[in-house]
Structure 1
Amino acid sequence: MTVPLLKIGAVLSTMAMVTNWMSQTLPSLVGLNGTSVASGGTSEKIVSALYPSSEEGWQIYSSAQDVDGKCVCTVVAPAQNMCNRDARSKQLRQLMEKVQNITQSMEVLDLRTYRDLQYVRNTESLMRTVDSRLKIASDNPRSLNPKSFQELKDKVTQLLPLLPVLEQYKADARMLGRLKEEVRNLSLVLMAIQEEMGAYDYEELRHRVLLLETRLHSCMQKLGCGKLTGVSNPITIRASGSRFGSWMTDTMIPSSDNRVWSMDGYLKGRRVLEYRTLGDFMKGQNFVQHLLPHPWAGTGHVVYNGSLYYNKYQSNIVIKYHFRSRSVLLQRSLPSAGYNNTFPYSWGGSSDIDLMADENGLWAVYTTIPNAGNIVISRLEPQSLEVLQTWDTGFPKRSAGEAFMICGTLYVTNSHLAGAKIYFAYYTNSSSYEYTDIPFHNQYSHISMLDYNPRERVLYTWNNGHQVLYNVTLFHVIKTSGD
């Protein structure tokens, strides 16, 4: 049986587990040298040696294990200028240390894979048990009444699509076994080199390490978009500015661009600070200032492909400001959109128009009088700011604390204060909604900005004068063969 798309209700596969963690690992994506969460739920920032100095010449693709115990594959590659026969002893010692890190990560990942497969096997057993009951009922229809028979049949129909996924998980486990064996072989080769210097070609060694990295990238590309199933504990990056504001990185440009933008306040502000990296933002150094020609309203700004999109003060006009040219490229009004605290989020702050971006592009979240104050979602054309399509969610905007888009789905919190949770989800791909119950730890008790960055798969938050990040857990859509 061919299944076009299988939506699995938990992130069980090794591919999903590895990729989800890697996409949440901020150091390799936005320049953060390291973050950790202390015991007791207290968030703090640290700077560690995830990135060795340029003199050492090593590049780290991702780290070993996060604070929640999620596993990752660590791939280490020597820089181009280090792949030579000079200073061989030092290179060998460093490479041996990195291979040991890879091996340790693989061992942890192997343990998690084993547990996942146990769960999958239990599901398979349950499915076959239910299928057996159905066969018995088919042979003896009197053993079940019509209603029970139909329910059992429907349950079996729902379980059958799991079979191709089981095969995919088993294939993942076999693939990881091969990777682990390759790393073990590489370790043995390096030990031999240590005994006989010069017996191995460094260029070939470099090729083998890079091959592991390529295969890991291949795993990542198998995964499609995902549905939000969880939000991590908060990671406090910095405490700066007033109670209200917004901060962000570009949601579209390559990860090599690590700039961070900060906009303090929610009303009549014009000053945008641009930091070179997240590390610079943490220290409050190495920044340039942009003075916008028109003041902003609210905190629903977004940086998309090198331009800032924001709501012009006392209007329903969206402005596109280009950072490199320091000029306004375009401004356009949102038809019938409320402004100036007509339809804000529950915290107020002229948050009538919330601009955001996700994997599907640029969005505006707002409301209108014809929509009776319910949240409206519009997908915008980034070049012209033309409204491409609009959805009426039916959810009252004044009852929402904040909102963000992931993979074409709008997620809404029920409060901006402590005790908030992600309460509502609207799916633009099906024009449907559901009420959710996803815990959301509001550490500083007053959120005035909450946005998702699809490039890094994290939530950016301005929380009572603190700039905070949240990792997200997505349940992935897995494409099977024949799609």
Structure 2
Amino acid sequence: MSVPILKIGMVLSTMAMVTNWMSQTLPSLVGLNQTLARPGTSERIISAVYPGQEEGWQVFGSVSDVEGKCVCTLLAPPQNLCKKDPRHKRLRQLTEHVQNVSQYLEVLDLRTSRDLQYIRDSEKQLISVEIRVRSAHSILHSITTEGLQELKQSVLKCLPLLAVLSQFRADVAQLEHLQQEVERLRSGLSLLQEQMEAYDYYQLQHRALLLEDRLQTCVNTVGGGVCVCVGCGKLTGISHPVTIRSFGSRFGSWMMDSMILSSDNRVWSMDGYYRGRRVLEYSSLSDFTKGQNFVVHQLPHPWAGTGHVVYNGSLYYNKHQTNIIVQYNLHSRTVTLQRNLGQAGYNNTFPYSWGGSSDIDLMADESGLWAVYTTIPNGGNLVVSRLDPTTLEVLKSWDTGFPKRSAGEAFLICGTLYVTNSHLAGAKVHFAYNTNTSEYEYTDVPFHNLYSHISMLDYNPRERVLYTWNNGHQVLYNVTLFHIIKSFADT
């Protein structure tokens, strides 16, 4: 009994040491104990690591444009260079190795605990058999046929222990191999850490922030005078997706306050598209990422779809089975306004291609609050309406001529409605309607639909990013806008 118990103790003790080392050392080596996302536009959007000083960021300001316009040019390294870095591949391999070791440790822990309990349960029986065998050996004439048969049955019941002990011997051998694997992991991670410390990423992030300041200076200043910065432009590109969190059902929405002048860093999430009432409010993007520090709003009226928006401290959403827009004040936790949206379709009459009662899509851009929907008189075409956020009155509407059922999702940037051709993999932005000129064009702006089913896609003008709910994943995209900055002489 003492030998297997000793092996069991060695297995459990070594497993505890390995688990403790992995929980304390690995996060610091691979950088998992650092906050990945913090509130604030600059720190959230500048998420790619700068690959090297020889490929520096440059900002140029000029008034030499043929039309006399202020031109700001930004030269930046490609965003995918980090993926070509061999350290990126090595880190991914080490991370996968850590996961494999962790999974094996869990299996070993479960099996060891189970077998240990079996041995403990069998210990009394073994002691009893041992006493009876010793007694029979010392007094041979006391053994009866019935007693011998009973002793034989007791010994047979102990035979399964042989398989358990054999498994322990195999586990000890595997544990020695596991120790070697952990040592190789430690060496590999230490080497990778030394290589990564050669790059001061905090300094690089500081340089990126300085770059943003220089770009802003370029926008606001020109050689012979001052430019009028409109802060708007035409969508020319969408970045690779950044997964912030994975939770909730297949459909839902999440957002921050879209009013440009707002300093509110809270995050809201609304899971589902049908008759939901529960809104989760997180104090920051970091808390949202970790799923902590949140409060719950229980809406008095259920919502329909996922086209909700937070603007200037209020949540605007479509009331279930109606074309009524509800304004809910997130501070007072009360409904402050409800208003019917004319002849807008509802209850899956004119949804996006994915369905989900997405008839009415509320959104905000640099100029204010909008509603995207359709009506029977408009023949099912997308209608864009500018709303007064205080009264929800429709100020002006535009018929885009694009059938809403053929749209995967839509979002507004600088008064232009951008429409995707699908909500599935392979989607791209392929239609744009400019409300400033009442003109449309077909575009070709691809983006990576990482999880293959988008049920919410909205632009936040304050953060200048796209928020998406993609198959239970909350994802951000950065956008590239082509800016034309006009001088006073052009106004």
TM-score tier (shorter): 0.5 to 0.7
Name the larger-Rg structure.
2
Q: CA RMSD in A?
A: 3.5
Q: Decide whether aligned partners of structure 1 residues 220 and 328 sit closer, same or farther in structure 2, where only a CA change above 3 A counts.
A: farther
Please show how residues 30-179 of structure 1 align to structure 2 within 5 Å: 47-48=34-35, 67=48, 108-110=56-58, 113=60, 162=66, 164-165=68-69, 168=71
Please show how residues 156-305 of structure 1 align to structure 2 within 5 Å: 162=66, 164-165=68-69, 168=71, 217-221=216-220, 222=227, 223-224=229-230, 225-252=232-259, 254=261, 256-305=263-312
Cα distance in 2 for partners of 1:385, 1:255 equals 20
CA contact (8 A) 1:45 1:235 kept: no
Q: Decide whether aligned partners of structure 1 residues 270 and 474 sit closer, same or farther in structure 2, where only a CA change above 3 A counts.
A: same
Report which structure shows greater RCO (CA 8 Å, sep ≥6): 1
**Which residue identity does 1:391 align to in structure 2?**
W
User: Offset of 1:360 from its aligned partner?
Assistant: 1.2
Relative to the length of structure 2, the TM-score reads 0.59
Q: Decide whether aligned partners of structure 1 residues 298 and 66 sit closer, same or farther in structure 2, where only a CA change above 3 A counts.
A: closer
Cα distance in 2 for partners of 1:70, 1:477 equals 29
**Which residue identity does 2:57 align to in structure 1?**
L
Report SS of the residue matched to 2:248: coil
Question: Does residue 398 of structure 1 match 2:398?
Answer: no
Match of 1:424 in 2: 431
Question: Does residue 447 of structure 1 match 2:395?
Answer: no
Match of 2:337 in 1: 330
Match of 2:394 in 1: 387
Question: Which residue of 337, 361, 364 maps to 1:357?
Answer: 364
Match of 1:133 in 2: none
User: Offset of 1:169 from its aligned partner?
Assistant: 5.7
**Which residue identity does 2:48 align to in structure 1?**
V
**Which residue identity does 1:474 align to in structure 2?**
L
What are the ranges of 5 or more consecutive residues in structure 1 without an aligned counterpart? 1-43, 52-58, 72-103, 125-160, 174-209
Match of 1:477 in 2: 484
Paired residues in the alignment total 319
User: Offset of 1:383 from its aligned partner?
Assistant: 0.3
Cα distance in 2 for partners of 1:242, 1:60 equals 27
**Which residue identity does 1:284 align to in structure 2?**
G
What are the ranges of 5 or more consecutive residues in structure 2 without an aligned counterpart? 1-30, 76-208, 221-226
Question: Which residue of 326, 345, 358 maps to 2:352?
Answer: 345
User: Offset of 1:61 from its aligned partner?
Assistant: 6.8
**Which residue identity does 2:483 align to in structure 1?**
H
User: Offset of 1:435 from its aligned partner?
Assistant: 0.5
Cα distance in 1 for partners of 2:210, 2:241 equals 35
Cα distance in 2 for partners of 1:357, 1:482 equals 30
**Which residue identity does 1:108 align to in structure 2?**
G
**Which residue identity does 1:319 align to in structure 2?**
V
Residues 36-92 of structure 1: CA deviation (Å, up to 9, x unaligned): xxxxxxxx99945898xxxxxxx9976997538699xxxxxxxxxxxxxxxxxxxxx
Residues 170-211 of structure 1: CA deviation (Å, up to 9, x unaligned): 9x99xxxxxxxxxxxxxxxxxxxxxxxxxxxxxxxxxxxx99
Relative to the length of structure 1, the TM-score reads 0.60
Q: Decide whether aligned partners of structure 1 residues 337 and 240 sit closer, same or farther in structure 2, where only a CA change above 3 A counts.
A: same
CA contact (8 A) 2:71 2:484 kept: no
Cα distance in 1 for partners of 2:328, 2:351 equals 23
**Which residue identity does 1:454 align to in structure 2?**
P
**Which residue identity does 2:381 align to in structure 1?**
N
Cα distance in 2 for partners of 1:425, 1:45 equals 40
Residues 366-390 of structure 1: CA deviation (Å, up to 9, x unaligned): 0000011000110000000000000
Cα distance in 2 for partners of 1:459, 1:248 equals 10
Cα distance in 2 for partners of 1:303, 1:474 equals 23
Cα distance in 2 for partners of 1:64, 1:406 equals 17
Match of 2:148 in 1: none
CA contact (8 A) 2:262 2:312 kept: no
**Which residue identity does 1:250 align to in structure 2?**
D
